[in-house]
Amino acid sequence: MAVNLLFVTSNASKVREAKHALGPNWKVTHKNLDVPEVKTESMEETIQRKAETAFSLVKKPVLVEDTGFFLDAYPNFPGTYTKFCIKRIGLDGFLKLLEGKNRQAGFETWLGYHDGQNVRTFTGSVKGSVADKPRGKAAEKLPYDLIFIPQGEKRTYAEMPLAEKQETSHRAKAFAALKKAFP
């Protein structure tokens, strides 16, 4: 059975990846809105609150997404503050923080689906490392893809075609989990 999803996000690149991951039987509608986030240090708690906020704004079943980037050298950073940090210190700041440090890193995507009564969450993660400098051409608003090399690869996500990135990506895994949970 096809499912309609109202994906509330200000990031069109994430909608594109969602459609790619879910395939043609799913109808994904993009509601372009930057949902106010109550940041906690837990990705799961943050996505739950975000789903509740989105539902209270849109007043119908909604899907929201939040992706955190994580550096092994600085546990839980930038985590739930991923978007804030890239705006403020940029990729240069991240590369500086990692000079001479452990370059292992990871992404976690969290999805929150509010069906009108409850929130269900789905997650997907990937491990890898941070490149010495930005490489490739990232989709709009996915800047970390320029420096992230998934495990077993030599290319950054931004150097890979979307179809290839989606084979392993955190976001694709989270959408696969969501897809599996729906009848």
Phi-psi category of residue 59: left, alpha or beta, with phi > 0 → left and psi -120 to 50 → alpha: left
Report the chain's terminal Cα–Cα distance, integer Å.
7
Peptide bond into 78 cis (omega under 30): yes
Rounded to whole angstroms, the Cα distance separating 70 from 36 reads 22
Task: Give the nearest distance from C-beta 160 to its own copies in angstroms.
Answer: 29
Nearer Cβ to its own copies (99/167) = 99
For 104, the token pair is 């292992």
Task: Give the nearest distance from C-beta 55 to its own copies in angstroms.
Answer: 18
Nearer Cβ to its own copies (86/126) = 86
Nearest 5°: CA angle at 63, between 150 and 147? 20
For 34, the token pair is 């930057």
Q: Which residues bind its own copies (CB under 8 A)?
A: 36, 38-39, 41, 74-79, 81, 84-85, 88-90, 93, 96-97, 99
Task: Give the nearest distance from C-beta 135 to its own copies in angstroms.
Answer: 22
Q: Find the catalytic residue in 66, 72, 92, 132.
A: 66
Nearer Cβ to its own copies (2/38) = 38
Nearer Cβ to its own copies (4/102) = 102
For 112, the token pair is 């929150």
For 118, the token pair is 């409850």
Active site residue 145: no
Among 50, 30, 39, 134, CA closest to 82: 39
Which residues are known to be catalytic?
A: 66
